[in-house]
Structure 1
Amino acid sequence: MPTKVLLQAVKRHAARFPDDFMFRLNAEEFAALRSQSVTSNAGRGGRRYAPYVFTEQGVAMLSSVLNSPRAIAVNIEVMRAFVRLREAIAGNQELARKFAELKRRVTRKLESHDQAITGILKAIRELMAPPPEPKKRPIGFAVPGNK
Structure 2
Amino acid sequence: MPSANFERSIRVGAPAEVCWPVLIDVDKVAGWVSLISGVVELEHLSSYEAVLADRFGMFNLKADLSVKVVELEEGRRIRFHAEGQDRHVNTHISVEAELRLDPTEDGTLIHVSGEYKVLGTVATMGASTIQKKAEMILAEFFGAAERSLTTL
Q: Is the radius of gyration larger for structure 1 or structure 2? A: 1
Q: TM > 0.5 between the two?
A: no
* Greater helix content: 1
Give the structure-1-normalised TM-score. Answer: 0.26
Give the structure-2-normalised TM-score. Answer: 0.25
Task: Identify which of structures 1 and 2 has the higher relative contact order when contacts are C-alpha pairs closer than 8 Å and 6+ apart.
Answer: 2
* Greater strand content: 2
